[in-house]
Homo-oligomer: A and B are copies of this chain.
Amino acid sequence: MDILFAGKPFERFRRTFEKVFPGHGMRFVDDPELMDSISWPHVIILRPGIFGEEHLSRAGNLILAQQWGAGVEGMDVDACTRHGVYACNVPSRGTGNAEGVAEIALLHMMLLGRRYKRSQEKIREGKFFTPPGSVLWKNRACVIGLGDVGHCIVERLTALGMNVVGVNRTLKNEFTQWGLEQVYPLEKLDLALRDASYVILCMALNDQTRGFADEAFFQLMKKESFLINVARGPLVDRQALEKALEEQRIAGAGMDVLWEEPAFPGDPILADPRVTVTPHIGGVTDASLEGVMHFIAANVKRVSMGLVPLSCLNCRQLSQ
Contact = CB atoms under 8 A, between A and B. Distances in A.
A79 interface: no
Contact of A135 (B126, B133, B134, B288): B288
A263 B114 contact: no
Given A99-B135, A103-B135, A288-B135, A265 B110 contact: no
Nearest to A137: B99
Interface string A125-155: 1111100111111110000000000000001
Interface in A43-65: none
Contact of A104 (B114, B261, B287): B114
A143 to B, nearest CB: 16
A22 interface: no
One complex includes copies of this chain to the number of 2
A96 B137 contact: yes
B123 A270 contact: yes
B132 A284 contact: yes
Nearest to A157: B159
20 contacts: A96-B135, A103-B136, A103-B160, A107-B107, A107-B114, A114-B285, A119-B279, A122-B279, A123-B262, A123-B263, A123-B265, A123-B277, A124-B265, A126-B265, A129-B279, A132-B289, A133-B281, A135-B286, A135-B288, A137-B287
Contact of A134 (B155, B277, B287): B287
A284 B159 CA distance: 21
A148 to B, nearest CB: 13
Contacts of A286: 132-135
A125 to B, nearest CB: 6
Nearest to A279: B129
A130 to B, nearest CB: 8
A138 B262 contact: no
Contacts of A126: 262-265
